[in-house]
Amino acid sequence: MNVLVIPDVHLKPWMFERAEEIMKRGTAERAVCLMDIPDDWNQEYNLELYRDTFDAAITFAKRYQDTLWCYGNHDLSYLWNKRESGYSPAAAYTVVKKLDELACALPKGNEIRYVQKIDQVVFCHGGILDYFVRNAVPAASYDDVDEVVRTLNGLSWEYMWNNFSPIWYRPQESVGQMYKPKELLQVVGHTPVERICREWNVLSCDVFSTHRDGTPVGTEEFLVVDTESWEYEGVKGR
């Protein structure tokens, strides 16, 4: 299955417009969003932009109801009241309200989760570290990937709000072993990269993030990945 990946959004409503253009072309059969919908440089008080971005996400969710959504650290910081870099106290009420609207727009059984899985490809914001799985999942379940994903998705903020969790981990900057490197492909955002790239079993695609002055870090291409062959390409929305 060809899957379109919408990486870290950070107040760019136009990303959903471009993603829809790709979907309409038939380039992908479904989509996955790695979220981090709120927050960007110097936008803490631009509540209209916060609302517009979430509304674009909600519209996309309603049109493509089988889209899968993965919480990012910036989304959860508002739900858990955990302030971090970029957190906007002025936008807190709006973000929580809009995240609830997004969740309500999804069909039953398609909840926003930390980790999503299609075939032997897992999607999450940061990455699933082997060390984290061994400490969070019963040893008897370690080799059952579906059970591991289910268990991870049931963890509370006490487990998830740390640098080794699937919402925070940065495999691009570490040498830690990832979970099931020979059996699973992990598609991740969170860490800005200049181009879509794969290293071992980690496929990084946060190419829409910007520098502080607003200039792009990466190529602003959407990842389209075949979940059966693991082949992938970058696709422009326009």
Strand, helix or coil for residue 39: coil
Residues with Cβ within 8 Å of 5's Cβ and at least 6 positions away in sequence, in order, are 31, 32, 33, 34, 123, 187, 205, 222, 223, 224, 225
Neighbours of 40 (CB within 10 A): 23
> What's the confidence (pLDDT) of residue 100?
98
Arithmetic mean of pLDDT, 70-81? 98
> What's the confidence (pLDDT) of residue 174?
85
pLDDT(238) > 80: no
pLDDT(123) > 90: yes
Interval 198-219: pLDDT, tens:
999 999 999 999 999 889 999 9
pLDDT(79) > 80: yes
- Which amino acid is located at 23 in the chain? M
- The helices-and-strands tally (H runs, E runs) of the chain is 7, 10
Spell out the domain ranges in the chain.
2-235
pLDDT(88) > 80: yes
Fold assignment, 2-235: Purple Acid Phosphatase; chain A, domain 2 (3.60.21)
> What's the confidence (pLDDT) of residue 85?
86
